[in-house]
A and B are shown apart, each in its own frame.
Chain A
Amino acid sequence: MEYLKKYPKLFQWLFLLIVFFALCFAIDVPETYKFIRGQAEFVKDPNQSVYFFLGKEVRYYAFDVFWRLPPLLGWLPIWINDSLFFLMNEWMPMEFWNEDTQEFKTRPLLLEISRNLTSFMTFLIELIREILLGGLETIVAFTSWDFIDAYPWLELPGLPWTIVAAGAAILSYKLSGKGLALFAGLTMIYISIFGQWKPSMQTLSFILVAAPLSFIFGLGLGIAAYKSKRVEKALYPILLVMQTMPQYAVLVPALVLFGVGDHAAVIITMVVAVPPMILLTILGLRAIPPEVIEAGRMSGCTNWQLMFKVLIPTARRDILIGVNQVIMVCFSMAVISAFIGAKGLGFNLLLALNQLNIGLALEAGLCISLIAILLDKMSLAWANKQTDYFGNLTFFQRNKNVIFFAASFVIGIIFAYVGTFIFKGSFNYLFEIPHNKGISTADFWNKGVDWIFDTFFVYIKAFNTWLIQDVLQPMRALYLRMPAVATLVLAVGAGYLIGGVRSALVVAALTLFIALSPWWDRALVTLYMATFGVVISCLIGFTVGTLCFQNKKSAAFMLGVCDIFQTFPSFVYLIPVMMLFGITDTSVLIAVIVYATIPATRYTIEGLRSVPVGLHEAATMSGVNKFQRLTKIEFPLAFPHMMLGLNQTIVFALFMVIIGAFIGTEDLGQYILKALSDKNGAGIGLTLGICVAFIGLIFDNLIRTWVGKRKKHLGID
């Protein structure tokens, strides 16, 4: 009784667990139950039950309600699909002027908007692509052929790779210094020598459109939300869902709305990249001390000046993290959107992975990663740039970068021109090294992979078998063995214990949505993979983080490593694991673990760092040894922050699990991948995406509520 009074929460949790397990044991597996491998809604099986909703037939396997809830939301994907098609093809027909045929044409409003948006995006991408790759009449993107014919001097050739490389190096030098310049130069040379120039520039042109647009939109909407509570309220739920929505899932509706191609990829990338930018903009602007704003107003700033000279620069730190996120997402999407026909490195990467040509995949992946890191560092350097007012510079010093660029431009052109004589008849290597004509180390890597397989096959195989048979399959079976009702009780109970009625209701709604969708089994599989990944990631991340924290240098080093790893597009992580473990669940899980360890490590270090220095000193003075200090002071205080890391770890793990479907897992991701090639897949893809997002949000809600309470309890914030 005394214990009960002392630790009431503990007993409440115990009680919850007892109820949960009791339910699990009380509810038997129905005899007809089996894990459904095909897509139930398309299979016509006499064992299925049917219900009608809005005249649509929804088929499903019926079980005892305690075991699996009936998929009452089964109509939702179909309905979304129909609505989308209706909106696109029938809603609000209007008269639009057609330039080509010179007459008015009736078209549904949305279709017209989509067409215009599409052509605008295509124009932007093509424009940049022509400048970077060109060789044709660059200006043609601007105007019409007639115009070019009339003014032939408008024809600009694409830039030779030497000039782009020199330009990148000089720009990096101007922004940051020698180090970055060297990195930029080497990256560009690597790209061109390995014959990745064309796909790289295709990807780059895609990024150069998507990233700035995402940044501008994100910043704009963030400012709007900062200024108006109403806008914020409207945006917030969308932002939350988008944060945990796997990027795959957004592809499918985009297919319907915008078709296939680079333009659709840009739009979809913006949809994914804008939300984190908005959130971080709001966060940064909110954190500005009011007196700084007042100081700006007292200096006589107009609203405009206040925003751009005071508020945004002051919130720079968070906004820069936003930029970093935008770039990260853009590169991630550069790969993923290859599924909907975006050209470039991503496409090559996917193709190589598909053909199991690890060497090629590695080269493409390295290219993407290098460009990503380069752009990230350049944007950072640009934001941190300082002006020197006192240097007494000569004309040459002031303009040396321009002069150098002009010089390299001329030299590059001369080289390219000379090249036309040297490489007569074949490719002009000084202008562009064509794809597949550069150096390639693919064979080397492929041989390496083969060698690894031959040499370690026995061990890898043994490890694989052990992991799958003794760990993964039992775990999966356990997850699938949970009756729906028991899971619901557990989730809602946890919500209630952590955050009271409000949390319980939110969690209940989110869980119910998944339970009533036709994909509960799949969600459980997704969850099991994510759980496995998260547990191991956290173990590694917290250990590595804590160890690195012991020394300032190693902590800074580790954060730098995390930064760089975070910039890699998620697909790149699949390459090395496929090298080692082939096409198995093990590969996916290891990729999940590697990917999700990044936030776990980062937040551990940052959490420990956030413990006030004064406390360290106070503790040392009171004769506490290092270990005691860690366990008694630093961990408890850093714990809330570390839990936010757990939150991120879960989101990262979920993303990777979904991407793992590419290798072939039996979870929600597999269906999303299927929906991509399905004409009626938009609704399914979106609903699946929402399911995954909701899994993330359930944990997000619980963790955030807990952290909030804990922080208040500790008096930090």
Chain B
Amino acid sequence: MSETVIKCESVYKIFGENAKKMLEESNGNVDAKTFQERGCIVGVNNASFEVAKGEMLVVMGLSGSGKSTLLRCISRLTDATGGKIFIEGQDLLELNNKELIELRRNKMGMVFQSFALLPHKTVVENIAFPLQIKGTNTEESISRAMEMVKLVGLDGRENYFPRELSGGQQQRVGIARSLAVEPDIWFLDEPFSALDPLIRKEMQDEFLRLQEKLQKTIMFITHDFDEALKLADRIAIMKDGIIEQLDTPANIVLNPATEYVRKFTEEVPREKVLIIEDVMDASSKDNLGDLKVSKDEIIENVAEKILTQEKLVGVVDSNNNIVGSIKPSKIIDTVFGGRKNGS
């Protein structure tokens, strides 16, 4: 892929009094239990990964697994205890205060898990806030904020205070605020979890549409696997601060790296993750029926069509060349088989 925007090299975040000293002593082998006995809590443990420009990395994991902490390190809201973080090649930990502020004003946007709106400002003032901090004049920042208000569907409520909004509406304000400065890098900490399913789906679609257009580099935290599958280019799964696996959705489901990841993905509906290419038989290209499907289709979308067939179904690539075939029974296997094996 194209250029790297975010790069982490063995990032550690340990909370506690003499975290730094303990980390040095441990030579990088951080064990959460022994640290806890000595009064330190491990937030992020040896995280190394890269995020490319325009890529969307979804971070998943149980509550307390260190997702928010990882995001805080990368936005330098807390200083990582160890390791290196590069944003567009710049060493984040080397930046001085002024450079950091510049970076945040122009490059980064963040949506917070608990909304974090300013209680004394109205919706439109909250959204205009980052612009005004940058020094944009009132008129311009307010008109830009009003565009954002429309974008997240809060028109008519621009003069409300956060306390007068529902949780979902507050979160939409948070999203609008983070978008106001048109950041290149966008951090979202469970942005849709407070929304009802209908709005959530709408926001997800809107989000994808936006992303198509804006091509931002995104780190996105969620608890919802469906959401992750819908949005992610790659998924990172965290446990106790460690990134257990970081890979494409299909690979995570098909080849779980650890037992934990396998358990984690057990309940995931495979037909939503896998594409035809993942399950086709590339060796047999003969005896095909009339139906042809593209190798890049997600199974869910074509399963019905395939299941009505009796013969083998041909699989074609983007140039309409046949690259393999798939048996209807294979679909049933994939959808139900994986789960049977697991339990």
Interface residues of A (CB under 8 A from B): 289, 291-292, 294-303, 305, 309-310, 313-314, 316, 386, 389-390
A309 / chain B contacts, CB cutoff of 8 Å? 129, 133
4 shortest A-B CB distances, which residue pairs?
A300-B105, A291-B116, A295-B116, A299-B130
Closest chain-A Cβ to B108's Cβ sits at a distance in Å of: 6
B339 located at the interface, meaning its Cβ lies under 8 Å from any Cβ of chain A in the complex = no
- A386 to B159 CA separation, bound complex (whole angstroms): 10
CB distance A298 to B104 under 8 Å? yes
- A305 to B118 CA separation, bound complex (whole angstroms): 13
Known: A300-B104, A389-B138. A294 touches B77 (CB 8 A): yes
B142 located at the interface, meaning its Cβ lies under 8 Å from any Cβ of chain A in the complex = yes
B120 located at the interface, meaning its Cβ lies under 8 Å from any Cβ of chain A in the complex = yes
- A386 to B123 CA separation, bound complex (whole angstroms): 12
Known: A291-B116, A309-B133, A316-B120. A301 touches B101 (CB 8 A): yes
CB distance A313 to B77 under 8 Å? no
Residue picked from A298, A305, A310, A313, most chain B C-beta under 10 Å: A298
- A639 to B255 CA separation, bound complex (whole angstroms): 59
CB distance B75 to A300 under 8 Å? no
Contacts A291-B116, A292-B118, A316-B120 given; 4 further ones with Cβ under 8 A? A291-B114, A292-B116, A302-B101, A314-B119
Closest chain-A Cβ to B110's Cβ sits at a distance in Å of: 4
B201 located at the interface, meaning its Cβ lies under 8 Å from any Cβ of chain A in the complex = no
Which residue of A289, A295, A296, A313 contacts B120 across the interface (Cβ within 8 Å)? A313
Closest chain-A Cβ to B4's Cβ sits at a distance in Å of: 22
CB distance A295 to B104 under 8 Å? no
Residue picked from B101, B102, B138, most chain A C-beta under 10 Å: B101
- A453 to B158 CA separation, bound complex (whole angstroms): 62
Known: A314-B118, A389-B124. A300 touches B133 (CB 8 A): yes
Closest chain-B Cβ to A230's Cβ sits at a distance in Å of: 18
Closest chain-A Cβ to B75's Cβ sits at a distance in Å of: 6
Chain B 94-111, CB-CB to A under 8 Å as 1, else 0, gives 000100011011101110
- A709 to B77 CA separation, bound complex (whole angstroms): 35
CB distance A310 to B118 under 8 Å? yes
- A390 to B118 CA separation, bound complex (whole angstroms): 20
Closest chain-B Cβ to A383's Cβ sits at a distance in Å of: 9
Chain B 70-90, CB-CB to A under 8 Å as 1, else 0, gives 001001010000000000000
CB distance B118 to A313 under 8 Å? yes
Which residue of A291, A298, A314 contacts B109 across the interface (Cβ within 8 Å)? A298
- A305 to B130 CA separation, bound complex (whole angstroms): 11
CB distance A294 to B72 under 8 Å? yes
How many chain B residues have a CB neighbour from A under 8 Å?
35
B118 / chain A contacts, CB cutoff of 8 Å? 292, 295-296, 310, 313-314
- A435 to B46 CA separation, bound complex (whole angstroms): 79
Residue picked from A295, A297, A303, A316, most chain B C-beta under 10 Å: A295
B124 / chain A contacts, CB cutoff of 8 Å? 389
Looking across the interface, which residue of chain A has its beta carbon closest to that of B142?
A: A389
- A390 to B145 CA separation, bound complex (whole angstroms): 12
CB distance B120 to A298 under 8 Å? no
B75 / chain A contacts, CB cutoff of 8 Å? 298
Closest chain-A Cβ to B311's Cβ sits at a distance in Å of: 57
Closest chain-A Cβ to B216's Cβ sits at a distance in Å of: 15
- A444 to B95 CA separation, bound complex (whole angstroms): 76
- A303 to B77 CA separation, bound complex (whole angstroms): 13
Closest chain-A Cβ to B194's Cβ sits at a distance in Å of: 14
Residue picked from A296, A303, A386, A389, most chain B C-beta under 10 Å: A389
CB distance B104 to A299 under 8 Å? yes
Closest chain-B Cβ to A495's Cβ sits at a distance in Å of: 32
- A316 to B104 CA separation, bound complex (whole angstroms): 26
A302 / chain B contacts, CB cutoff of 8 Å? 97, 101
Looking across the interface, which residue of chain A has its beta carbon closest to that of B120?
A: A313
Closest chain-A Cβ to B70's Cβ sits at a distance in Å of: 14
B225 / chain A contacts, CB cutoff of 8 Å? none
CB distance A300 to B101 under 8 Å? yes
Closest chain-A Cβ to B247's Cβ sits at a distance in Å of: 29
B134 located at the interface, meaning its Cβ lies under 8 Å from any Cβ of chain A in the complex = yes
B122 / chain A contacts, CB cutoff of 8 Å? 386
- A389 to B121 CA separation, bound complex (whole angstroms): 13
Known: A316-B120, A389-B138. A301 touches B133 (CB 8 A): yes
Within 8 A of A (CB), among B144-188: 158-159, 174, 177-178
CB distance B110 to A298 under 8 Å? yes
- A294 to B75 CA separation, bound complex (whole angstroms): 10
Closest chain-A Cβ to B325's Cβ sits at a distance in Å of: 51
B119 / chain A contacts, CB cutoff of 8 Å? 292, 314
Looking across the interface, which residue of chain B has its beta carbon closest to that of A288?
A: B119
Closest chain-A Cβ to B220's Cβ sits at a distance in Å of: 16
Looking across the interface, which residue of chain A has its beta carbon closest to that of B126?
A: A295
- A291 to B113 CA separation, bound complex (whole angstroms): 9
B109 / chain A contacts, CB cutoff of 8 Å? 298
B117 / chain A contacts, CB cutoff of 8 Å? 292, 295
CB distance B77 to A298 under 8 Å? yes
B35 / chain A contacts, CB cutoff of 8 Å? none
Closest chain-B Cβ to A315's Cβ sits at a distance in Å of: 10
CB distance A297 to B77 under 8 Å? yes
B264 located at the interface, meaning its Cβ lies under 8 Å from any Cβ of chain A in the complex = no
Closest chain-B Cβ to A520's Cβ sits at a distance in Å of: 47
Closest chain-B Cβ to A542's Cβ sits at a distance in Å of: 30
B110 / chain A contacts, CB cutoff of 8 Å? 294-295, 298
- A303 to B101 CA separation, bound complex (whole angstroms): 10
Looking across the interface, which residue of chain A has its beta carbon closest to that of B143?
A: A389
Of the A-B pairs whose beta carbons lie under 8 Å apart in the complex, a sample of 29, sorted by A's number, is A289-B114, A289-B116, A292-B119, A294-B77, A294-B112, A295-B117, A295-B174, A295-B177, A296-B118, A298-B104, A298-B108, A298-B110, A298-B178, A299-B129, A300-B101, A300-B102, A300-B104, A300-B106, A300-B134, A301-B101, A309-B133, A313-B121, A314-B118, A314-B120, A316-B120, A386-B122, A389-B124, A389-B142, A390-B158
